[in-house]
Amino acid sequence: MKNNLRYSFLLMVWAVLGYGPTFASSSSSDNEAPPSPQITYTLSMPQPANHYFEVEMKLSQIAGPANLKKNGYIDLKMPVWTPGSYLIREYAKNVEDFRATVGGKPAPVEKIRKNTWRISTRDAVGDDITVRYRVYAYELTVRTSFLDDTHGYVNGASMFLFNDALKDQPSRLVIQPAKGWNKVSVALKPAAGAPFTYEVPNFDLLVDSPIEIGNHRTFTFTAAGVPHTVAQFGEVEYNEQKLAADYKRVCETATSIFGEHPCTDYTFIVHHTNVGGGGLEHQNSTSLQTTRAAYATEASYKGFLTLVAHEYFHLWNVKRLRPIALGPFDYENENYTRALWEAEGFTSFYEDYILRMAGFHTPEQYLSVVASDITGIENQPGNRVQSVADASFDAWIKHYRPNENSSNSTISYYSKGSVLASLLNLSILASTNGQKSLTDVMRLLYNRYYKELKRGFRDEELKQALEQVGGKNLDSFFQKYVYGTDAIDYAPFFEPVGLRLVNGYANAQDAYLGVATGLNPTNGRQTVTSVRRGSSAETAGLNVGDEILAIDSIRVSEDVNKLMASYRPGNSFKMIVNRSGILKELSVTLTRLPLVTYRLEPLPNRTEAQRALYNKWLHIN
């Protein structure tokens, strides 16, 4: 805080004295405090069609903090991952043509680690350092950077360098858009009198402020008293007035959960592409990727609004209220936590709960969402193999790197965390007779750990907050459902609101093979892409990669799972497959369909107390 305040004060003094945005002189008397280090990043894109950003990083007055005189060198590093996306992504692989000067003269550079460049300062006359490099950027996701002749998008972790001793120092970012581009959208404070120039309090915020550059459309709205900007890239038709009004409803509903908005302004960067791609939360902004058809139908539009609600809720949950491992960040290594089931799972719960609170979902539609979420986790064999706490810890090696066996061995901390949040919400409502809910837990955690203690919460502190608000011991819940893989008993959670969970497949007598296939529509050939654990396909020895040729000597020319409609459990047949060029005959005996499809139904003879709690839960006046 001292450094940031001091830097802001210096900027104000320079402006008053007429020096504009340039840095202060490095001279000082022996009685004066040493001048603050100064860092300037310049981002340019002279030939956007070649997909290269060019970065210049200037450092001055850094001899003391960076130990230049003692060490004779300075190390500059690039993050290997980006907060919010828990995978080592090796951003340094895209860096080229790295050069440095010290005191205006070329300096030796040695790459000493995969993401670290060491610049020699031993023979330098001064300590001013300039580094230049190019970054190849041609992967349009919310976690990476992209540049072509239509626009540029920057995720800071994949673009900018840092020094350990200087991470908390303020810096300046200068953006030089490509010729003909006239717009930059980023949630950083503009520098006075300098176009496309921004003041950055520290490296964390530089990493946490995505940048959209080009000629994209923007519109604004105010929610909870805070100005919001939406930057829209991609050819797409939309009703700006309606979209702004619906953003406002989502944002104000999310704000009501915590009771305050922590920002002075907020920015949405939205990319409209062929396939979409999700979102990534940031301190004062978010990046979203959706399809060009996002606004075309009610279903697709609600899907987009859930994405908006999810990433916006992260403004509080994760970016401020957070598991203790998620900040301050180690940008070079994995940051392990067993609480992503809260960070992402609770956020996934609120994405639809916010839509219900704001009136986008009817009560019946919300019940369908809850039942669908339960159906999803109960149909995944990995739900009985991996706990949601272990799924959180293993995010770095499993969640972002799924393979053909992932559904058998893993569970998503998003989906199961969302289901557990729903159950905890119902539990708290029931135990407090509707006086409190999961929202009271979120407020308690936010005020205690983010605002008062100014740190993240520990796993046991999350449990304690849930117990404090709900007034009941949760040892069994956490042992069975968070740290264990026990089958969830749903009835006690839904009974207080007068509902029961019903399996639509309970009496089904369908036969089940247990494979997913990739079908070639031109020749009907299909290849096995996954085999369900415990299925008849696994028992018969069917492998991923097998091409299914025939059943009982009859050529298979359509989806093999559709063919199962003519069979019954217990039926047997011979299947011929092509396995790596060798024909194999397998004996298959079909089992009964093991899948579930849940819906929530009212209990017969619901009491008035159940009806009242139901209305409280679903915000029915």
Question: Tens digit of pLDDT for each residue in 417-451?
Answer: 999 999 999 999 999 999 999 999 999 999 999 99
3-class state of residue 545 by DSSP: coil
Query: DSSP for 456-511?
Result: PBPHHHHHHHHHHHHTS--HHHIIIIISS-PPP--HHHHGGGTEEEEETTTT---E
* β-strands 189-190, 151-154 pairing: unpaired
d(CA 4, CA 1) in angstroms, rounded, equals: 5
Inter-CA distances, 283 with 40, 59, 230, 322, Å: 21, 25, 16, 12
For position 131, what pLDDT does the model report? 98
Answer whether residue 342 shows pLDDT above 60: yes
Answer whether residue 412 shows pLDDT above 60: yes
Topology of domain 340-503, CATH:
Neutral Protease; domain 2 (1.10.390)
Inter-CA distances, 510 with 115, 403, 507, 528, Å: 54, 28, 9, 21
**Cβ contacts of residue 454 below 8 Å, gap of 6+?**
none
Per-residue pLDDT band for 71 (boundaries 50, 70, 90) equals confident
We find that the CATH architecture of domain 217-297 is: 2-Layer Sandwich (3.30)
3-class state of residue 569 by DSSP: coil
Helices 438-445, 459-470: axis angle to 10 degrees equals: 130
d(CA 170, CA 148) in angstroms, rounded, equals: 30
Q: Which one, of 228, 256, 247, lies nearest residue 309 by Cα? A: 247
Lowest-confidence pick of 276-285, 296-305, 319-328, 513-522: 513-522
pTM of the model: 0.92
Answer whether 340-503 and 511-592 agree in fold: no
Four-CA torsion 408, 412, 413, 417, nearest 10 degrees? -100
pLDDT tens digits along 580-604:
999 999 999 999 999 999 999 999 9
For position 27, what pLDDT does the model report? 36
Higher pLDDT, 596 or 20: 596
3-class state of residue 184 by DSSP: strand
d(CA 621, CA 609) in angstroms, rounded, equals: 15
Show me where the domains of the chain are located. 2-26+33-214, 217-297, 340-503, 511-592
pLDDT tens digits along 33-69:
556 789 999 999 999 999 999 999 999 988 777 777 6
For position 34, what pLDDT does the model report? 59
For position 1, what pLDDT does the model report? 42
322 in Cβ contact with 459 (< 8 Å): no
**What percentage of the chain carries pLDDT values higher than 90?**
88
For position 525, what pLDDT does the model report? 83
**What percentage of the chain carries pLDDT values higher than 70?**
94
For position 521, what pLDDT does the model report? 73
591 in Cβ contact with 512 (< 8 Å): yes
pLDDT tens digits along 129-187:
999 999 999 999 999 999 999 999 999 999 999 999 999 999 999 999 999 999 999 99
For position 33, what pLDDT does the model report? 58
Class of domain 2-26+33-214: mainly beta
Lowest-confidence pick of 107-121, 205-219, 548-562, 596-610: 548-562
Average pLDDT over residues 113-141: 92
- Domain 511-592 maps to which CATH number in 3.40.47.10, 3.40.50.720, 3.90.1150.10, 2.30.42.10? 2.30.42.10
Average pLDDT over residues 118-131: 85
